[in-house]
Structure 1
């Protein structure tokens, strides 16, 4: 039995077939409902058969355009915003991807995993900053990559490429000021011109 098969067997033994489990690219993705997020993740950490003692990463995802033409197969997801955690068991030398969806697309809220893996504190702040996902119970949930006066969440699919505001140094007031973006939104389509016989015999 391979390591991946053993992990799958252990997950089924401990969690049953209650949660969707997808095997792809040599890894397993486990999908957990938001209301059981902390409980199941705690079991993944504490159960000796699983022993996921290290949370490597947590990332936010915006699935709003997933499955549209040119974006891969259409997959029915239970929400727009998700948090994805990548776990590692040092003891068993295996990895697991765990995902949960926020139920409210307008105000995505998920429980924090800070008490389970404190190392995720900064990753949750990043997901809050970039996607606007609120991690309930986080001890210090504030922006980490953008400025404190920043408006919006830059990794959301509907965030404009030029942003909402720009900043510059104002000589008169001798400080950095914000102002509306002066770049007009436009779609740039590259023109490709090839001379006759381009690339032949070179």
Structure 2
């Protein structure tokens, strides 16, 4: 049976192995997070997979993040980020890796699909929902939305009702796209939006 090392030891091991290739190796709530510049992302991920102190054989999850509203909280920096969770079965340890996309207009990072096959559909999902481009991905195309879909629905500036709607037209015997016909409606509960709702003061 393999016992996991303490998070503090994992933090020290990763700091020693990765050195100045990464921006920081943080420990919070018992979890280690490695933040890496986009330029070093692929080489760091390869090291995390292959180095003796790491051996992260499995990519468990990869997702996009849109930090566009964080400026409201006083946080500055790039808008888009890719977050990856890795697992080492042989050493029984986990790590989170964060890489910020340097260009908000064209969020782009390297693909890690050649390192872990499981990254394939995760990267396609992040491309589809956030518009993050994974350079080197062999088949980067939409995976959840329709091929004719406009925009990226998990971006925080994407309208709730979307831009177009799709339906099957029986007369034309094909699928057609039309402007959204859904009327926006008030979704805030009355108890919140009405000052004296139900006689409450």
TM-score, normalised to structure 2, is: 0.88
The CA RMSD over aligned residues, in Å, is 1.9
- Distance in 2 of aligned mates of 1:56 and 1:173: 44
1:158-169, aligned counterparts within 5 Å? Answer: 158-169=157-168
- Distance in 2 of aligned mates of 1:186 and 1:154: 19
Which of 11, 15, 19 is the equivalent residue of 1:16? 19
Work out whether 1:45 is the aligned partner of 2:49: yes
> How far has the Cα of 1:28 moved from its partner?
1.1
Moved more, 175-184 or 42-51: 175-184
Match of 1:100 in 2: 99
> How far has the Cα of 1:21 moved from its partner?
2.1
3-state secondary structure, aligned to 1:151 = coil
- Distance in 1 of aligned mates of 2:98 and 2:186: 34
Work out whether 1:65 is the aligned partner of 2:66: no
Q: Which runs of 5+ in 1 are unaligned?
A: 197-202
Deviations 1:94-129 (CA, angstroms, capped at 9, x unpaired): 110001011110111111111111210110000000
> How far has the Cα of 1:13 moved from its partner?
1.6
3-state secondary structure, aligned to 1:65 = helix
> How far has the Cα of 1:3 moved from its partner?
1.5
- Distance in 1 of aligned mates of 2:186 and 2:74: 26
- Distance in 2 of aligned mates of 1:56 and 1:75: 28
CA contact (8 A) 2:87 2:93 kept: yes
3-state secondary structure, aligned to 1:42 = helix
- Distance in 1 of aligned mates of 2:18 and 2:173: 60
TM-score, normalised to structure 1, is: 0.88
